[in-house]
């Protein structure tokens, strides 16, 4: 389970963010109340492990408790992502556990490391 983090229920309108790698994320709140929220965010970035550009269309669901994000779940087309981020292996095998398993493990390890750092 992830650590809750301080947040307001999803803000109105859209938000765009850029980082030092020129990644862009455009987020749009779809719905929110005191306990739940949904958003759609579009991320354009370079996948660092392959250097390939990626465009990811993500749907996010949130559950809020005591002013915190208590749960956050993202969903997106993994095969579409793998095609862009991984190139030919993602195109041919992105829908299989051969690709999905290692990618999920690597992503989870990165999240665990981020959370352990207390950020």
Sheet holding 52-65, edge to edge: 5-6, 68-75, 52-65, 36-47, 24-32, 14-18
Q: What share of the chain is helix, strand, coil (3-state, %, to 5)?
A: 30, 40, 30
Per-residue pLDDT of the chain (119 residues; tens, 9 = 90+): 344 444 333 344 444 444 555 567 777 778 899 999 999 989 898 998 899 999 999 999 999 999 899 999 999 999 999 999 999 999 999 999 999 999 999 989 998 999 899 85
The CATH architecture of the domain made up of 1-76 is Single Sheet (2.20)
- pTM for this prediction: 0.67
- Counting Cα atoms < 13 Å in the Cβ hemisphere of 49 gives 11
Return the structure tokens found at 69: 């994000």
């Amino acid at each position: 389970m992830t650590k809750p983090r301080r947040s307001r229920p999803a803000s109105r309108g859209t938000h765009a963010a850029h980082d030092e790698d020129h990644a862009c994320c455009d987020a749009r709140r779809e719905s929110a109340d005191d306990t739940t929220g949904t958003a759609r965010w579009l991320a354009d970035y370079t996948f660092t492990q392959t250097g390939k550009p990626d465009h990811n269309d993500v749907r996010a669901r949130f559950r809020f408790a005591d002013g915190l994000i208590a749960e956050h779940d993202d969903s997106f087309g993994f095969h579409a992502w793998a095609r862009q981020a991984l190139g030919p292996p993602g195109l041919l095998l992105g829908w299989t556990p051969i690709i999905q398993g290692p990618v999920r493990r690597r992503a989870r390890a990165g999240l665990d490391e981020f959370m352990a750092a207390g950020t």
